Amino acid sequence: MTGSDTRVVSVQRLNQGPGDRSLAEWWADERKDQTPESKAIEEAAQILRSSDVPVAFPTETVYGLGADATRSVAVQGIYRTKQRPSDNPLIVHVDSLEMLDRLLNPENPSSPSATKTARASIPAIYKPLIDRFWPGPLTIILPNPSGSQLAPEVTSNLTTFGARMPSFPLARLLIHATNRPLAAPSANASTKPSPTTAQHVYHDLHGRIGLVLDGGPSGVGVESTVVDGLCGTPAILRPGGIGIEELRQCAGWENVTLAYNDGTFDVKEIPRAPGMKYRHYSPKARVVLFEAGSSPAGVARHVQRDLHDTAIHAHNIGIVRTRHWKQGLDLAPDSVLAKSLQPVDAAIENLFSFPLPVQETGSPNRRTKLAYDYHLGSDTVSIAHGLFAALRAIDECDVDVIYVEGISDKDGDLAAAVMNRLRKAAGAEMKA
């Protein structure tokens, strides 16, 4: 497959959702009218049912790379496309509680009495969460039943699987049209920043997949929260779009604990949820994360040292700002900055570049390096929404190092999710 084989098809009109109609009624109307969007969804569904090549599609969190969760050859296509370790389990996306019920109660044709046994149900601990947060950015860990329909590659041979029902209507419509549960990790090359636009997907995976459904930018910007209610004390395995304080308002989840370690990449056992074991969300450039409250002047001195040290290889640099760093990080005087600051791309409002004359240690000559400055905004929602896009945009400028202004985990649940992603991108956190 060559890059030209990867098509990006707009289905953004479907973002408006079904209105008062059910998914089945909505899909029937679209097919009856033979809309361009229905043809794109039908093509995607056919690929998902019969091919081992995944399809990229939008959700409210990030873009997902979907495959039929019941076929091993299809799920293997996800690992192959992303170049993802096979011991990293996948989340199963469903369009309804009825589809989830079918996964929990697989039919066994060889046993006529199977249908007479008690049907498995979603554990009661999850009912308050489902009532409040589904459809939405929440993944729950469930027992994988005997005779499971799921391909073993989905669970990495665990006895459990993660399931979620996306709130993005277009995602549920695709699952409904396919009539299969979809395994769908983020649609990026493994370890890279998650994609929040169809263009991000194309950048990472063109030539590896055939079809990207373009539903516009994702809304949340970070992946779903993963929770485990099957253990003695309910736990959060991955922070995301639903926070700990929101969970604690639900019956049975008042004492929910955190069961992830942002700074650990050497977990030996199979992870219980995606994102627990391996380094994630990293651009090509090295990421240096400064914790909240770091002195901007101290950060600027650290950057200046890197720029002058030939061993660091900081030729061009990126700066991702949130709440307290000034534009340019005082690396150049305001008067110089005012004259030299240039927009990098008209389509990216917050990204600017400016030159930095530097005399490297041990060199008699001064050389001009470039700095790229991206302001995410000061509110947590804007920071979460733009985080992955900022890392990708600066990385496209061929920088060597990206310096990021962190925010406090105590600024809310979404802030904790942002810092979780940044720590995994950087591998470490600094204080200046």
**224 is annotated as contributing to ligand binding:** yes
- Nearest to residue 213, comparing CAs of 37, 332, 375? 37
Q: Are strands 160-164 and 225-228 parallel, antiparallel or unpaired?
A: unpaired
- Helix, strand, coil shares of the chain, percent, nearest 5, are 35, 20, 45
Q: Which residue in this structure is represented by tokens 């399809």?
A: 55
126 known member of a binding site = no
The SS3 assignment for 342 reads: strand
Instruction: Return the residue matching tokens 């697989």.
Output: 106
319, 372 contact by CB (below 8 A): yes
Sheet holding 257-258, edge to edge: 7-10, 211-214, 55-58, 63-68, 182-183, 91-93, 160-164, 138-143, 225-228, 235-238, 257-258
User: Each residue of 212-249: b (16+ CB within 10 Å) or e?
Assistant: bbbbebbbbbbbbbbbbbbeeebbbbbbbbbbbebbee
Residue 84 among known ligand-binding residues: yes
C-alpha span between 91 and 139 (Å, rounded): 8
User: Is 24 known to sit in a ligand binding site?
Assistant: no
Among 267, 198, 245, smallest CA distance to 9 is for 198
**For 114, left (φ over 0), alpha (ψ -120 to 50), or beta?**
alpha
* Residue 102 counted as an annotated binding residue: no
- Name the nearest CA neighbour of 165 among 142, 144, 147: 142
Hunting for tokens 């945009």 — which residue is that?
Answer: 393
301 is in an annotated binding site: no
Contacts of 366 (CB under 8 A, 6+ apart): 357, 358, 359
Known binding residue 6? Answer is: no
Calpha distance 184→225 (Å, rounded): 15
- The distance from CA 359 to its chain's CA centroid, rounded to whole angstroms, is 40
CB 178 within 8 A of CB 138: no
DSSP 350: T
Q: Is 155 annotated as a binding residue?
A: no
Q: What is the DSSP letter of 380?
A: H
Question: Binding site for L-threonine: residue ranges?
Answer: 61, 93, 164, 184, 224
Question: Binding site: residue ranges?
Answer: 61, 84, 88, 93, 160, 164, 184, 186, 194, 224, 238, 281
Question: Binding site for ATP: residue ranges?
Answer: 84, 88, 160, 186, 194, 238, 281
